Every structure is written in C-alpha cells, then in structure tokens.
Amino acid sequence: MAQAAKKLWKNDIVKFIIPLQYHQRGWPTGKGSVIVLSKVKIYYAKSRIELLSDIHRYQGEKIHSEIDFLKKLRDKIEKEKGAGRQMERIEADLVQNYSPCSECADVFVKFKDFRKREGIKFSLKIEFANFYRHWETPYINGLKRLLENGVALKLLHGEDDWRAFLNDKTFVELTEHEKAKLLDRANSEDRKKNEKQAIKIFNNIRLGNDIAGLGNTSQPSG
C-alpha cells in the first residue's frame, strides 16, 4: 500500500454511477469491474501518524479488490512490527462501486478480530454505490455481519455525495467539463431510481426484512 499517485479514469467512475435498475442486465463484470478506493490513517506510539491511499481492482476469483486491500495492509503491519514500530490504531475508509461479497465480509471481520488480539484498534467504514448480489441470502448475511461487528456501512448516493466523490483530489483528476458530465449522469432519472431502490434495500437489511425479488441478474462474480 503506497502513497498513491494513481487516479481513476473516467471509465472507472462510470462503474460507480450505474444508471441500470437492479432487475436489468448489463452491469460491469469481469476484471476491473469492482473498484475499491482506500484511505488509511495509522496511529503509532509517540503520536506519529501515517496516511496511506491506494486503488484496488478486481483481478479474478482469487484476487478480490477488498482482499487486495487487506493483504497490502497486513504486509504493512508486519513490516512495521518487524522494524519495532508499534501501531496503536488504524482507521480505514473504503469507497467501492459494489458492496462487499460474503467472502470478503467474513475476511474483514476476521481481520478486525485479529488486530484486536494484537492490541491494535481497527475501525472500518465502507461506502458503496451499488449492491452486489443482494438478493442472495449469503451476501445479505455478510453485510449484516459487518454491521454486527462494528463496521460502518454507507450508501454513496445523492448529488452531495457524488459532488464530493468527483472532487476528491486523492483519486480523481478530471476537467470541469468531465465532472459536469459525470454529475449529470449521477443526477439522471435512471440513476435516481437506482438509488431509491438501493435505499429501500439498505433499510430492509438493517431492519432484517426479506428483500427477495429485487435481484439483478448480471453483476460481477466477485
């Protein structure tokens, strides 16, 4: 995990602002279809703070974007430990175009528990723009496990959220014209319908309600 000079391409950003409805086909699939943006703040002893950021892309079943993030963070922790630099707290903020799958949710929870046993407080916030396979019970249960284990989940939706996303200089480098076009996409009626449905899905998940029948049939496999 490095001080990222990486930036999102315009074609990456449209994978966040998807105007399709959850029952329609045509969603991004395959390599590069899932994107995770990570910002990490590490607190060491003696009040030293380190800031890290990176972009993680889905590379296939063995390399989910979230797993790539956790692997790089784990490597960083081991490197610092080997150098005698003790971490006290880690705050991670992720922004994703899709919600985590059930496998990644389980790994997040295990990672958080392991850090606790090491004496490192690990807090995690995940903001996502679209649900991934939310109509399948394992994926819903995965999101519930995250909530139950203190992981903050938030929907990326609405003009204010998208404006902030497009103005995030850590990851986004666009002309004002490009930003305006993408904001128009975010404000389109189709995208607004998508977000209304996502809000309903999210509320039902938090309330433990049945959300069967809201499925999309063409989302990435990981």
Top CATH class of 30-207 equals alpha beta
Domain parsing of the chain, residue ranges: 30-207
**What type of residue sits at position 22?**
Y
Half-sphere exposure of 201 (CA within 13 A, CB side): 29
Question: pTM for the full model?
Answer: 0.90
How does DSSP assign 182-198, residue by residue?
Answer: HHHHHTSHHHHHHHHHH
pLDDT by residue for the chain (222 residues), tens only, comes to 444 458 999 999 999 999 998 878 878 777 778 999 999 999 998 889 999 999 999 887 778 999 999 999 999 999 999 999 999 999 999 999 999 999 999 999 999 999 999 999 999 999 999 999 877 888 889 999 999 999 999 999 999 999 999 999 999 999 999 999 999 999 999 999 999 999 999 998 888 765 544 544 445 444
Half-sphere exposure of 184 (CA within 13 A, CB side): 6
